[in-house]
Amino acid sequence: MIIDTHIHLNDRKYQDILEEVIKEALENDVERMIVVGYDRSSSIKAVKMASSSDFIYAAVGLHPSDVIKEEDFDLNWLKNLLREPKVIAIGEIGLDYYWNKNNRDLQITYFKKQLEIARNANLPIIIHSRDAAMDTYEILKEHSLPGVLHCFPYSLEMAREFIKLGFYLGIGGVLTFKNSRVLKEVVKEIDIKHLLSETDGPYLTPEPYRGKINRPAYLKYIIDEISEIKKIDSETVLTVLYQNARNLFRI
Ligand code: NI
């Protein structure tokens, strides 16, 4: 059994193929999916999807690329969504200095705000971080919450530091790309008990489907790649990653 710990079934790209994608996921052993929000409307949509499906859970949050358009400085919409029973994490939240160089202070403000919300709600966090390793690390070090660095984009050295803080590393389609030398090294060296499987669909589709819309059914290619890199049989990889996801998200 596999848990897709990060997918945006709330994205428009899935609109017309949603039923087929979920059915195909179940046929391919993906028994639970965490639909992740990135702003108000995508978070509300994630919650709606979760409440109408046994297989779907929701994460709610404001992504660093979306802070610029946020109108509710207190994030009351986010706090209100936490009453919903199938909300199991705050995310995705974090810092992105790759796409957004000019609003770092605002990103940090909303990031810290949401870490406080997660602490008060006693929920794990799903972190998006790009070109912002040190700021992310320093802020997370101050807050000490359970969570995952989704689509882990940094060095082995940073992986070790985040793991010391108790974080999991989200591993997705990038692992199957030819040029993913650094991530392959991370997966090779880091104990499997710190890894989670994710698609980040509709993005980051693994080989051999790179370029198409990503689907949870493709998680098997990531499991196989982890198995090959770590020289651990894929059944063991499946079992450990499944348990890791259940431990973190309490599902
Ligand atoms: Ni995402």
pLDDT tens digits for range 75-87: 999 999 999 999 9
Q: How many CA atoms lie within 13 A of 17 on its CB side?
A: 15
> Which amino acid type is present at position 215?
R
Rounded CA gap, 4 and 198, in Å?
Answer: 5
Give the global pTM. Answer: 0.97
Cα(199) to ligand 1 centroid in Å equals 8
pLDDT at 101: 87
Confidence check: pLDDT of 46 > 90: yes
Cα(39) to ligand 1 centroid in Å equals 11
Cα(91) to ligand 1 centroid in Å equals 9
pLDDT at 195: 98
| Percent of the chain residues topping a pLDDT of 70 | 100
Cα angle at 185 between 179 and 188, to 5 degrees? 130
Residue 147, φ and ψ in degrees, nearest 5? 180, -175
Cα(6) to ligand 1 centroid in Å equals 6
| Per-residue pLDDT reduced to its tens digit, 179-190 | 999 999 999 999
Rounded CA gap, 225 and 167, in Å?
Answer: 21
| Per-residue pLDDT reduced to its tens digit, 186-217 | 999 999 999 999 999 999 999 999 999 999 99
Query: Sorting pLDDT into bands at 50, 70 and 90, what band is 235?
Result: very high
pLDDT at 108: 98
